[in-house]
Amino acid sequence: MSIVILSACKNSNQSEQTDIPIAYSDHIPPGGNSWVVSEDQSTANITDQGIQQWVQPTTKINTYVRLNGHGELQIGLIAKVSEGSSTITVTVNGQTKEVVLDNTDYTVVNVGTFAVDKPGYQAIEIQGISKSGDEFASIKSFEIGGTATAKGVTYVKDDFYWGRRGPSVHLTYKTPQDKDILWFYNEVNVAPGQDVIGSYFMANGFGEGYFGMQVNSEEERRVLFSVWSPYETQNPEEIPEDYKIIMLAKGEGVHTGEFGNEGSGGQSYKVFNWQTGNTYKFLLKAQPSENNSTDYTAYFFDPQADQWNLIASFRRPHTATYVTRPHSFLENFVTQTGYIGRKGTYGNQWIYDTTGQWHELTQAKFTADATARKGARLDYAGGVEGNVFYMQNCGFLSENTPIDSEFEREPNGEEPSIDFSKLELQGIK
């Protein structure tokens, strides 16, 4: 439903000053759609209430919307200044307009009309020029309308935390029928520039957990392996003793503990400075054990040291299974980097069954999480590049891959060369 407001604009482009009512079709809340994109992200505060504490002229803030059409894009701000006046710029598609704000109550301030030449994501960039008060402005929402919005607009309307993280994407591998999978093997490569903070390149997912590598900060990277408890809770302290994940063994330098908030269970990680451009190998074993339990063991291959390293082995009670639903995923777990794209390639997938046979997995189904499925964020893609699968998310790319697409990569035909007897730990069969 459109909202009709009267101009409160003091735009430096005199030809756009008007008292003619403008119909804006969409409110864009900054809480789910705006990011500080300049180097110092602490120079403005973006919350569910909007943009506040914006004080530095070097700060650039981008607000992202996806337009299904093209043409004229009219933009307004629901904004105010604390005192005096401020001059800011608003830039869209290479066109910049200066706007003067001197209202101390929230008012719709008309910015002007911008030309959009094609459908897709657009960034509405704002930057401060001058101010007489402590901050440039507080902004409650961006108002948009015009012919460019007539065919529809995509933006995050609710669940701002998940919207800011961006869509997660998955590849589920097709396996031979009637085979019990003892081992699952996969390889991951991240190209230079794709190792964005908050990325989890999950290689070996299975029905009860996940195993892959993360970018945790500028200084730290991890190899992470987790197994969910069969007791469903977000708080690990609520898990009854007979439902807790039991640690059987861990590798050198590996931290183990519990996790919560996305299910609960046992977690292990090794701080490891993995490098872009290198291919890393992941190997997971799942085997039924005593008293209706299953043992899960994860190994990681370091190509520079040319050796397999144990991450951890966990026992999951009330479970008797081999590897089920082998899959991979790519997610962002840091909201501040949800506007930056990242991509990983996943190749050479194999499973080893209980009869001692290797099987290459060359088919996969591409899926995505609720943020993507409900249309809040459409910046995701996946598919095949030669003999590897790939996934990418975030970055507000305008072309995406249909969810539930199926892909087939070229086979490699050479099974992994692994001496399982050298990997097995004493006491773990």
Whole-angstrom Cα distance, residue 124 to residue 111?
11
Report the relative pairing of strands 246-250 and 307-316 from DSSP bridges: antiparallel
Residue 14 has pLDDT above 80, yes or no: no
Helices (H), 274-391: 370-373
Short-list 151, 64, 61, 30, CA closest to 394: 64
H or E, element range at 113 = strand 107-116
Residue 203 has pLDDT above 70, yes or no: yes
Each residue's pLDDT tens digit, 157-198: 999 999 999 999 999 999 999 999 999 999 999 999 999 999
CATH topology match: 3-155 vs 163-423: yes
pLDDT band, very low/low/confident/very high, at 11 (cuts 50, 70, 90): very low
pLDDT band, very low/low/confident/very high, at 241 (cuts 50, 70, 90): confident
Residues in contact with 11: Cβ distance below 8 Å, sequence separation at least 6, in sequence order:
17, 97, 98, 99, 100, 110, 111, 112
Supply the pLDDT for residue 22.
Answer: 76
Supply the pLDDT for residue 3.
Answer: 38
Contact 349, 326 (CB under 8 A): yes
Write down the residue that tokens 């969910």 correspond to.
Answer: 228
Whole-angstrom Cα distance, residue 99 to residue 118?
25
- Give CATH for domain 163-423: 2.60.120
Write down the residue that tokens 């089920």 correspond to.
Answer: 324
Fold of domain 3-155: Jelly Rolls (2.60.120)
Each residue's pLDDT tens digit, 273-326: 999 999 999 999 999 999 999 999 999 999 999 999 999 999 999 999 999 999
Q: Which of 39-48, 167-176, 213-222, 406-415 has the lowest mean pLDDT?
A: 39-48
Residue 352 Cα distances to 271, 294, 329, 359, angstroms: 28, 17, 21, 6
Report the relative pairing of strands 169-173 and 95-101 from DSSP bridges: unpaired
Supply the pLDDT for residue 15.
Answer: 34
Whole-angstrom Cα distance, residue 302 to residue 97?
52
Each residue's pLDDT tens digit, 322-345: 999 999 999 999 999 999 999 999
Domain boundary assignment for the chain: 3-155, 163-423
Looking at every residue in the chain, the average pLDDT score rounds to 92
Whole-angstrom Cα distance, residue 195 to residue 179?
36
Contact 247, 313 (CB under 8 A): yes
